[in-house]
Amino acid sequence: MEEAIAKANTLIEAMGWIRQFRGTTTVIKLGGSVLEDELALMHILLDVIFMESVGMRPVLVHGGGKAINRALAESGIEPNFKRGRRVTDDATLKVVEKVLAGDLNVHLTQEIERFGGRAMNLSFLTTNVLFGQKLESPEDEDLGFVGEVTRVDRNVIEGLTYTDQVPVMPSMCEGPDGQHYNVNADTAAMAVAQALGAEKLVFLSDVNGVRRDKDDPDTIIHSLSSDEARELIRSGVIESGMIPKVEACLETLGRGVKKVHIIDGRLRHSLLLEIYTTSGVGTEIHL
């Protein structure tokens, strides 16, 4: 009986958050280890279906770097990176298109529907919603067909969310001449969140959030203002690979998104625990 009562208390706790976020948009960036872990991915997609079922409007943007690397290896193509970005020549672009806009995008959509939700895959193979241009490198290094999103067709995306469907889009954009570009998944998700005026942007990561000690998961900081985050960068608490992610969060907050979350996507039901509980399980960054 006590276990049943505890479950009821959890639902009561969630009720306030469900009311608060009903009708709001949350953009979720999928990538990294989550896409490689079948069980973790299942729990994330079940969370997404739950969010939609209680009135939120989840939108998925996904990368797929590890799957791309495997496909390149099968094609005998050596991956090439400069400053963390994949150099995308003609041959690499064909692989990226097949993996991101084809295989992964369709797979995620089908999995959502298999678990009982409704979803629509959005890409240049179906209905394209991300438009952009070639990314100009500040060091004049040619990265090939690497782009940046300059326009998001919010009408198509919102039209789907208003009819209880989950839009699923790969991190690729189409140029004015029809050329396709590979886009960093974090920046693609940021562009979508900004265009939609999202309540939340959630980065599913391989760490549980911002930590005071990067090697100790128990030192996670659950809530940070933008000023506090900048101070932690200045003081060296936030360092190395977490710096660009937090700086991206701060940039997004300055462009209309209310809150940005960094959570461990490998944790079972981490999305629900972050959004519908008081304490959360990751780091929330706000203005």
User: 191 — alpha (psi -120 to 50), left (phi > 0) or beta?
Assistant: alpha
Region 215-240 average pLDDT:
92
Does residue 241 register a pLDDT over 80? no
Name residue, tokens 């101070």: 231
Do strands 25-30 and 57-62 pair parallel, antiparallel, or not at all (unpaired)? parallel
Question: What was the pLDDT predicted at 105?
Answer: 98
Distance of CA 209 to the CA centre of its chain: 14
Question: What was the pLDDT predicted at 150?
Answer: 98
Could you tell me how many helices (H) and strands (E) the chain has, helices first?
11, 14
User: Residue type for 236, please?
Assistant: G
Name the burial class of residue 168, with classes exposed (0-12), middle (13-18) and buried (19+) by CB atoms within 10 angstroms of its CB: buried
**Annotated binding residue 64:** yes
**Annotated binding residue 211:** no
Q: Which domain holds residue 27?
A: 2-286
If one counts the domains in the chain, the total is: 1
Please report, for residues 9, 13, 155, 200, the alpha-carbon distance to residue 3 in angstroms, rounded to integers and kept in the order given. 10, 15, 45, 32
Question: What would you measure as the largest C-alpha separation in the chain, in angstroms?
Answer: 66
Would you mind telling me the total number of residues written for the chain in this entry?
Answer: 287
**Annotated binding residue 23:** no
Please report, for the domain that includes residue 153, its CATH number.
3.40.1160.10
pTM of the model: 0.94
Q: What is the pLDDT of residues 167-203, one digit of tens each?
A: 999 999 999 999 999 999 999 999 999 999 999 999 9
Question: What was the pLDDT predicted at 248?
Answer: 84
Question: What was the pLDDT predicted at 88?
Answer: 95
Question: What was the pLDDT predicted at 235?
Answer: 92
Question: What was the pLDDT predicted at 249?
Answer: 87
Query: Is 36 in contact with 206 (CB distance < 8 Å)?
Result: no
**Annotated binding residue 182:** yes
Mean pLDDT of the chain: 93
